[in-house]
Amino acid sequence: CRMARERRRQVINESHHRNPETKPGRPQKKDKKSSLDLTTICLTLAAICCFVGASSFAYHLYLQWWLAGRITTLHSSPHILDANSSSPAVSPEKFWGSYRPQVYFGMKTRSPKSLVT
């Protein structure tokens, strides 16, 4: 077993000026280094992540607003079909059915007095 060593006291010459805040026999506190420590780096990265997240969320909201405006804006060209071109009186073959195969459930009928609804 090793025995603990005795501490050596640091002898301070009286000729040097002592700081009144320090007590004799105790080492002076070291000044903090000016280099970046782990806490500063983590806080900086967290702030950057928050900024990027908030910016992407704001861009997403703007993009939704912009796309909604594009969808509801009608084109200024003339209509290809007339308003009643697919009514049951004009085209009875299109009254029932779907243009998509195997789609029946969930379809809406085109008659004003529907048996289903």
25, 9 contact by CB (below 8 A): yes
86, 94 contact by CB (below 8 A): yes
In Å, how far are 11, 48, 55, 69, 85 from 14, measured between CA atoms? 9, 52, 62, 82, 110
Q: pLDDT (tens digit, 9 = 90+) per residue, 49-73?
A: 999 999 999 999 999 999 888 777 7
The verdict on pTM exceeding 0.75 is no
Q: pLDDT (tens digit, 9 = 90+) per residue, 74-94?
A: 778 888 877 777 677 777 766
